[in-house]
Chain A
Amino acid sequence: MNVHDLKSARPQPLPPKPRNPMPVWVAATLAMLWLIVWDLEISFETLAYGVADMAEYFSRYGQPDFTDLSRYLSLMGVTLATALWGTVFALLVAFFLAPLAARNFAPNAVTYRIAREILNFMRAMPDLLLALIFVAALGLGPLPGALALGVHTAGFLGKFFAESLERVDKGVCEGVASTGANFPQMVMYAGWPSIMREALGYVLYILDRNVRMASVLGLVGAGGIGLALHDTLRLFDYGQSAALILVILATILMIDYASAWLRGRLG
């Protein structure tokens, strides 16, 4: 092929267009969704008729009762502490496991596989189930809650970190490797600094998620505001329930703003 061919008068026809399989996939997905509705006998009529009933039910939460606010806040504090310790535990585990579970950093295929499977296992254990097990083993209180959250989210955080580490620029890895750095040095110089920003985002997301989940874990006896909410709901005390829900909501909003601010600062 000579460059001068390009200047010939008549433009050459384009090669045939590659086949686009997209419509097939979209059609298959829609068919699958319809089959699910049909198979599970999901009825949208029930939903339509239920709207009125739902409105009536929610109206019972109209008058939040804040007389016990100081107790709610201290319970919220316990829940926050549970979530925080769960996140710290997850962070510690993920920090050590993620580099082993990242293909480009792992020292060999065996450690890579093992680390991946450990992370998969932790992620697959639902935290509600873990909390039940830990409550049975350690007794009621925030500790089993923190452990349950920690184990479950270590799996998530480890996977997120590992995937970020796998996206680290190959050149940067080679730059550090070419100096003769060993595995821990590679991780600390080429790995973590390159994914700092993403990693912080993931940690804040996991913290946010753990605060929400810690509120629920109270239901199985893992302490905190969830337990109080459980009790008031069982007593049909809508006023207090509404107040508790508002406290949880306000806390989550505050964490959301705080993490957005923190991420902005780390630019």
Chain B
Amino acid sequence: MSAISIQSVSKRFPNGFEALKGVDTEIRSGSFTVVLGPSGAGKSTLLRLMNGLETPTTGSVRIDGETVDGLKVRHIRSRVAMVFQQFNLVDRLSVVTNVLTGRLAHRSWVGSVFYLFRQEDLGIAREALSRVGLTDKAWNRADKLSGGQQQRVGIARALAQRPKVILADEPVASLDPVASEEIMALLREICDRDGITVVVNLHQVELARRFADRIIGMNSGKIVFDGSPEQMTQPVLRTIYQREGIEDDNSLDMALAYA
């Protein structure tokens, strides 16, 4: 069964830039999908559409059969968590409060605006923190943590939502190689153990090869490759990272030689 279904989606921004030009795809429940492509290919836009942070100009995005649109968007977000490149934590709040933010959609505003949470929610936050190995940092301020630790808080916040889907928009682009490895392994483990559907945007071809079940390659707003890591050969990579109007791109060959 497919968790995410994207039907002939186009997205044109108010400044006229066409980020997506008719994208169709289904993402299977419980799978680990990596989206590759050059900057500006529409990877982020595609991911943000699935969480309602952007709305499609034409076409529709469905999560578990429910269309992502204006009225239901908060309900859908409660089940479709997002992990960001810049972590997007609330700097001045403690780690545990940031994780508890993941419970907001499940509770009315009455208690939560006073930072009051049920025991049940605290239990979920504690569990999420121990999953990412940050129990001892629970009461630190979020901005006092290292990049890799902050991203783990971001993942704990996503886990606290008890989501069906986790979307990660270039989660390792601001991290060093060791932290990148940790974060990718953590996302993979979440996918395998909890059966959560994971979709990750990446710039690192090598990480995509090692962690993905399925790779989607995008270029200029279109899907140009869709297959398993084994099917992603050197010529396929050339198509994915092809730059418009350049026939013989030396930089491209150099960059992909060791990918």
Contacts and interface: CB of A to CB of B under 8 A. Distances in A.
A172 B157 CA distance: 13
Given A175-B84, A180-B78, A181-B101, A189 B109 contact: no
A183 to B, nearest CB: 8
Contacts of A193: 90-93
A178 B53 contact: yes
B119 interface: no
Interface residues of B, number: 33
B86 interface: yes
A182 B74 contact: yes
Contacts of A180: 74-78, 104-105, 161
B82 interface: yes
B157 A179 contact: yes
A174 B51 CA distance: 10
B92 A194 contact: yes
Interface majority SS on A: helix, strand, loop or mixed? helix
Interface residues on A, range: 20 to 34
B7 interface: no
Contacts of B115: 188
Nearest to A4: B250
Contact of A179 (B75, B77, B87): B77
> Which of A3, A177, A178 lies at the interface centre, i.e. has the most chain B CB atoms within 10 A of its CB?
A178
B140 interface: no
B105 A190 contact: no
A2 interface: yes
A184 B105 CA distance: 11
Nearest to B160: A179
B81 interface: yes
B53 A174 contact: yes
Contacts of A172: 88-91
Interface string B71-114: 00011111001101011111111000000011011000100110
A217 B47 CA distance: 58
Contacts of A4: 250
> Which of B77, B104, B115, B251 lies at the interface centre, i.e. has the most chain A CB atoms within 10 A of its CB?
B104
A18 interface: no
Given A3-B250, A175-B84, A181 B90 contact: no
B59 to A, nearest CB: 21
A181 B105 CA distance: 5
B1 interface: no
23 contacts: A2-B249, A171-B84, A172-B90, A172-B91, A174-B53, A175-B101, A175-B157, A177-B77, A178-B77, A179-B78, A179-B102, A179-B161, A180-B75, A182-B105, A184-B109, A184-B113, A185-B113, A188-B113, A189-B90, A189-B93, A189-B104, A193-B91, A194-B90
Interface of B: 51, 53, 74-78, 81-82, 84, 86-93, 101-102, 104-105, 109, 112-113, 115, 154, 157, 161, 246, 249-251
